[in-house]
Structure 1
């Protein structure tokens, strides 16, 4: 086979793929519509994004860098200024009681 013949085959396959997709998509959509009607689903039932995870309460800063004043809540990646160090030394609550 030469290049032009392969291109012609590719074009024919693309046409067949598009036709098969159209036929199968129409059948799938008809089935979905039937299921929605059978069970009485609403748009919200079908398309709503239910959140399964509870969102954490927003907490204020728990640690402060005395040099820059930068704060960190203790959640997520450790900032470089506290990484590998004793967190108690940077605790905001601990500092409130020292005064």
Structure 2
């Protein structure tokens, strides 16, 4: 029988791998890619916070990681807004690398 900590670690790894599978498999829209990246970051944050609490370390490192992932999300959303305004949609097939 598994205890709660082992089940939490397994579910965090499942979150990371499901996000990675979604990121690799479904790349038609930029928004889907950004959401899968955020899902992976949430799984990594969960693993990091569990590891810090088990080792008895400081929680500030996990808060720093959470701050950086929030900044990454804001940067991704601003990129999404810029692409939708310039191209009209967020499909990867409509992007032309030769346009300015």
Q: Tell me the TM-score range normalised by the shorter chain.
A: 0.3 to 0.5
Higher alpha-carbon Rg: 1
TM-score (structure 2 length as normaliser): 0.33
TM-score (structure 1 length as normaliser): 0.33
Whose strand proportion is higher, 1 or 2?
1
Higher relative contact order (CA 8 A, sep 6+): 2
